[in-house]
Amino acid sequence: MDISELSTPCLILDESKFKKHCDEMKKKCRDLGVTLRPHLKTGKSHEFSLYQMETPEGPATVSTLLEAENFFEWGVKDIIYAVGLSPNKFQKVLELIKRGCNLKVILDNTETAKKLSEFCKANNTEIKVLIEVDCDGHRSGVKVDSNELIDIANYLKDGAQLTGVLTHAGDSYRCVGEAQCRKAQENERDSIVKAANRLKKAGFNINIISAGSTPTAKFAKNWDGVTEVRCGVYCVGDLVMAGVGVYEPEDIALSLLVEVIGHQKEKGWIITDGGWMALSRDRGTANQKVDWGYGAVCDVDGNILPGLLVKGANQEHGIICSRNDNRLKPEDFPIGTKLRILPNHACAMAAQHDHYNLVKGRNVISN
């Protein structure tokens, strides 16, 4: 099938670009002596994840327990659920562990640590825990130098087993260029290793020292002291990563195929069937040097059309405009023209769809 025969809007995954990104990250992690534990939240599919992971059993990272359950049913056993654990999820975690999943959870406060320990004692079970560490003030996690780091570890008992520490350099998404990303990576590495060493000195066994975001993983030169690297969007890229300097827009492997369904001649707009229900509401490039609106516009072959962007998006309608406000000519984009839109945030776009159309060039090789 030719790509132009697909019903729109639909998700397109470029096989060559995707495999290239995966292969490069696997090699980089091997060269630097760390385990790659890819985040599977972007792909959310078995076929997609198999190429990301080093083995069909993992290791892997997920962002929901539903993802953990699905990937476990597909044979992935070594999983970190990398969102702070809440008490209402304890039972689901226990069920997965009882079924044979080597599931590990994270937390960053004494309250949850205490409740989890009580749960483990009441259920005569063991749950492996990593303490989340805040390396850059981005979001969640306990400060590296705080007394709470040791306090949390002390509260983990009666089956709640401390097995490691984990961090995410979220501020790397605000970096621009290799030098800034590498500085963020060095801080990420040094912070998580320091946290691990503090816990070791206090008498705790720390087996997993987990770090990694896509910008820091891409530009890392040294992960000394770190045991594993987690990254996710590296495998496809997106416009936010292009703004950071991780990829060029031409490297992005994921796109949305849309069709021109109308024109606003007096405004110079092109209207497509790709609204925010297909693109997502993500505006991650709004604060970057180049704002792509709701996405960059490509022809059906994936070649970027300079000066165009999806400036607006309604539920089912995408509005393509010229960046310099020149009116676009309807005759240049006749009704039925197929275009491809590159995502601001690949994870957000992918979450809007129930499957991928895998393409090689213009050929659809799997859908």
* DSSP track, 24-45: HHHHHHHHHT-EE--B-TTT-S
| Domain 3-9+247-366 falls under CATH 2.40.37.20 | yes
Q: Which residues, listed in sequence order, are joined to residue 229 by a DSSP beta bridge?
A: 36, 211
Stretch(es) of the chain classified as CATH 3.20.20.10: 16-236
pLDDT tens profile 130-187: 999 999 988 899 999 999 999 999 999 999 999 999 999 999 999 999 999 999 999 9
Q: Which CATH number fits domain 16-236: 3.30.2320.30, 3.40.50.1000, 3.20.20.10, 3.40.1390.10?
A: 3.20.20.10
pLDDT score for 22: 98
Q: What is the pLDDT along the chain (367 residues), one digit of tens a residue?
A: 999 999 999 999 999 999 999 999 999 999 999 999 999 999 999 999 999 999 999 999 999 999 999 999 999 999 999 999 999 999 999 999 999 999 999 999 999 999 999 999 999 999 999 999 999 988 899 999 999 999 999 999 999 999 999 999 999 999 999 999 999 999 999 999 999 999 999 999 999 999 989 999 999 999 999 999 999 999 999 999 999 999 999 999 999 999 999 999 999 999 999 999 999 999 999 999 999 999 999 999 999 999 999 999 999 999 999 999 899 999 999 999 999 999 999 999 999 999 999 999 999 998 8
What's at 310, amino acid-wise? V
The answer to whether 209 and 40 are in contact (CB under 8 A) is no
Percentage, residues of the chain above pLDDT 90: 98
Which among 340, 287, 336, 333 has a CA at the least distance from the CA of 310?
Answer: 340
On average, the pLDDT of the chain sits at: 97
Region of residue 247 (left: phi > 0; alpha: psi -120 to 50; beta: else): beta
Query: HSE (CB half, 13 Å, CA atoms) of 192?
Result: 30
Q: Fill in the DSSP letter of residue 293.
A: B
Task: Give this prediction's pTM.
Answer: 0.95
C-beta of residue 234 within 8 angstroms of C-beta of residue 20: no
**HSE toward the beta carbon, residue 79, CA cutoff 13 A:** 30
User: Looking only at Cα atoms, what is the longest distance across the chain?
Assistant: 72
The tens digit of pLDDT for each residue in 53-81 reads: 999 999 999 999 999 999 999 999 999 99
Q: How many C-beta neighbours within 10 Å does residue 7 have?
A: 9
